[in-house]
Structure 1
Amino acid sequence: MIKKSASSGLFYKFAKELLYLMAVERLNVQPEMLRWVIQRAGLSTEKAIEAFPLLNSWLSQEKQPTLSQLKNFSAKFYVPFGYLFMDNLPIESIPFPMFRGEAGQQNHFNLNVYDTVMNVQARQEWLEEYLNENEIDTCKFVGSISTNTSISEAVRRLRLILELESRWAFSLSTPDAAVSLLGQKLENAGVFLVYNGVVGNNTHRKLKVSECRGFALVNEKAPYIFVNSADSKSAQLFTLIHEAAHLMLGVSAGHAGSEGFHHEATERYCDMVAAEFLVPVSVLREIWNNDTKSASRRFKASELVIARRAHDLGLMSDTDYKAFWTIYSQRQIAAKKNSSGGSFYMTSVKRVGRSFAIHVRNAVNNRQLSYTEAYRLTGLYGKTYDNFMTNNI
């Protein structure tokens, strides 16, 4: 048995007392910072105190928090611990415009959307450096068009890139199958995809469709498309092409809320590209039988996209379109059916992205990336990471 020396015993005693003092020592955190954290989390003061009762005495400055309490507070409200000691309030913003829905409201900030964007951006920054260092061929079509490019020409180019003809969706059984095929084609073209309906793997932090349907994060080496997997499959299909059009334009942006078309010039352009790609004019004229449901089943696009296309082409009268809209707008948004749980690892493939995961695995194997960094980038740790990479990628 190894005996501790007297000096060693004193050291352990001192360390223990120091840790105790750190745990009970009161730290000075300004009420303005605490209020900023509450606002950042999208809560009222009352709701925040209800969730974390100690906060009440901190705001009134009757008491100050201990280190342990403050760490619990930062974890509870998803704020970096170091922020709490800054002299000035941090300034955070999503690095591109969000359109429509709640996300498009002026001065609106949603923490779940922000953290999701920052997570994707961190992956993109690592990827850009990795792809450059290893001279790996990347996406060729970012910034290849402008809003002066005709819609028909933009769609023609995108069809060539994705190797999909105008009736590509007709042979597929479901919108789910269409999303899967389109995603594969985009990844083959060098786009990195993420599908997720929560922040990372935290099922308590859901991404509302009203806050984020999807976004495009432009980068010539590692362009990203994010799709909210809580959305309907037909809506996800539209999002994929809408965001692909953003990449072709070289303009990062996101959208949320209503399926309706937007009036902002770039957004409307991307909407029109998506509509023509998914529901080509020539094909719709040929198969139109005044039945939006039938056409929706064939194109795999939503009934709203079909109706708008039919109306714009004069195939549906103003009266019929208004009648359709009255009924459609009163429907509850179709929530995705909850599965019996599904495979965690199959879900993780969507959340991490297969192409991204392959590069991470290769970087670790080549000792260009530590396991610690790989865990951080994928959100998977230890044996879970090992199993994911070994059996699913």
Structure 2
Amino acid sequence: MVKVEVKPNVLQWVIKRMDNFDRLKDQFPNIDKWINQESQPTLKQLEKLAKMTAVPLGYFFLPNPPEEKLSIPHYRTVRDEGAVRPSPNLLETVQTMERRQQWMRDYLIQLGNPPLNYVGRANLSMDPKLVAQDMRRTLSLEDGWASKQSTWQEALRNLIRKTEDIGIIVVINGVVGNNTHRKLDVAEFRGFVLIDDYAPLIFINGRDGKAAQMFTLAHELAHIWYGASAAFDLKNLQPADAEIENACNKAAAEFLVPEDELIIIWKQVGQSEDRFEQVARHFKVSEIVAARRALDLNLVTKEEFFLFYEDYMKRLQQQTEQTKTNGGNFYATQTMRIGRHFAEAVIRAAKEGTILYREAYQLTGLSGSTFDKFAEYVDTGRYV
């Protein structure tokens, strides 16, 4: 068997990337000896290690570990001491989305599509209220649009559709690709946005509760208006201490729950025990978004907000644990993980012969009959 020399510092770097070191030791009992250079792994063992740790095989042959950085700013609500290393799951997810975005951009340019005029249309000197109004107008959402939806869940689905209809790729996924063993950490990021004047892309961490996804989507939409790519955690729905994050948060809050309208509603329900529920029901947002907006406008104190937030999250966790799911519709899940707008473009390009089916498989992560059935599912419009 061919032995391969791997630098100890590279192996130590790989170990730090692994969430479950005990599992790594179980699979590779001699890894300490490799680090101490008492023995060396075989190529087959390295291939297995690369797959388990999601490290490209070529990295094991480097003299020093690579310095992995996100290509976009990562705003965190609570600043950690020192630099925060992005997880392999976040890095790979951003890189995958960047590849898809680049393909989409090239495809749209080849079709002769013009750039999207709303990308970067706002600036930090603008009133967030005006930015929110322009967002609603561009998305063809009339004033009070959400109150006409039956539930906030339906309002969220409608907002996603409207967002995709104006040319924005929207992806919702809680794992890396389709690997259910590699879950995305909500504590690390709730979402990110990649700016492009042809194919802006919004990614929402599907591991987050749907109650918070509405605010994340609105926040990411605001980033597109301001023309700023970013990843963010929005801990407790609070922005990081950065000017762009505060601007996006204000625009998102105004977009979902307009101040003038809330003030009128609050005069009627502000003293009620179920005030957040009543506000949420009117604006078709979750109670947590309603409470967050009340805090924005100093209608409640921070203490009141956080007491409610903690209680709400506990109740939500209990409901989640009690709810049994059967995994849902595979193709509906894939539509969210790939993005309807992007999927339609890839399917169309493959059918027209603009790209080979092999490339379509690589872009979507689906192949063969699974891709064919997915294409049929998307074409029939049953994802709506």
What is the TM-score when the length of structure 2 is the normalising length?
0.89
1:377 counterpart = 2:358: no
SS of alignment partner, residue 204 of structure 2: strand
Secondary structure of the 2:146 match is coil
Gap change, CA 1:241 and 1:167, over 3 Å in 2: same
CA drift of 1:51 comes to: 4.8
- Kept in 1, the 8 Å contact 2:76–2:239? The answer is no
Q: 1:322 aligns with which of 303, 307, 315?
A: 303
Residue 275 of structure 1 aligns to which amino acid in structure 2? Answer: A
1:340-393 C-alpha deviation (Å, 9 max, x unpaired): 211111100000111111111122223222222211110112211111112333
**Aligned-partner Cα distance in 1 for 2:34–2:305:** 54
1:105-144 superposed matches below 5 A: 106-144=83-121
Relative distance call for 1:133 and 1:57 in structure 2 (3 A) is same
Paired amino acid for 1:88: N
Q: Is the 8 A contact 1:103 1:110 kept in 2?
A: no
Give the corresponding residue for 1:77.
Answer: 53
What is the letter of the counterpart of residue 72 of structure 1? K
Shift of 1:103: 8.9
Q: Which of the pair has more CA radius of gyration?
A: 1
Q: Return closer, same or farther for 1:248/1:346 CA change in 2, 3 Å cut-off.
A: same
Question: Is the CA contact (8 Å cut-off) linking 2:77 and 2:240 kept in structure 1?
Answer: no
Counterpart secondary structure, 1:362: helix
* Consecutive aligned runs of 4 or more in structure 1 exceeding 3 Å deviation: 41-44, 101-105, 302-305, 311-316, 330-333, 335-338
The 5 A counterparts of 1:152-163 are 152-163=129-140
**Structure 2: distance between partners of 1:69 and 1:219:** 41
Match of 2:69 in 1: 93
Q: What is the rounded CA distance, in whole Å, between the counterparts of 1:99 and 1:59 in structure 2? A: 35
User: How far apart are 1:88 and its partner, in Å?
Assistant: 3.2
CA–CA distance in structure 2, aligned partners of residues 253 and 77 of structure 1? 26
Q: Structure 1 unaligned runs (5+)?
A: 1-23
Q: CA RMSD in A?
A: 2.1
Query: How far apart in 1 are the matches of 2:115 and 2:161?
Result: 15
Does residue 353 of structure 2 align to residue 367 of structure 1? yes
Partner in structure 2 of residue 280 of structure 1: 258
Amino acid corresponding to residue 303 of structure 2 in structure 1: K
Matched with 1:15 is none
Cα distance in 2 for residues equivalent to 1:258 and 1:276: 18
Aligned mates of 1:375, 1:82 — CA distance in 2: 24
Distance 2:49 2:188 in 1: 25
Asked whether the 8 Å contact 2:173–2:336 carries over to 1, the reply is: yes
8 Å CA contact retained: 2:119, 2:196: yes
Partner AA of 1:301 in structure 2: V
Separation (CA, whole Å) in 2 of partners of 1:223 and 1:206: 24
The match for 1:310 is: 294
The structure-2 alpha-carbon separation of the partners of 1:361 and 1:308, relative to structure 1 and needing over 3 Å to count, comes to: closer
Match of 1:343 in 2: 329
SS in 2 for 1:170: helix
TM, length-normalised to structure 1: 0.87
1:28 shift after superposition: 1.2
CA contact (8 A) 2:212 2:289 kept: no
Q: Distance in 2 between matches of 1:305 and 1:171?
A: 18
In the aligned structure 2, how far is the partner of 1:379 from the partner of 1:195? 15
Residue pair 1:33, 1:84 contacting (<8 A) in 2 also:
yes
| Deviation (angstroms), 1:40 | 2.8
1:124 shift after superposition? 0.6
The residue identity in structure 1 corresponding to 2:173 is N
Corresponding residue to 1:217 among 185, 188, 194 = 194
Q: Is the 8 A contact 1:94 1:114 kept in 2?
A: yes
Q: d(CA) in 1 for partners of 2:262 and 2:355? A: 50
Fraction of identical pairs, as percent: 38
Matched residue type, 1:33: V
Correspondence 1:67 to 2:53: no
Q: Distance in 2 between matches of 1:159 and 1:312?
A: 20
Taking structure 1 as reference, are residues 143 and 73 closer, same or farther at Cα in structure 2, changes over 3 Å only? same
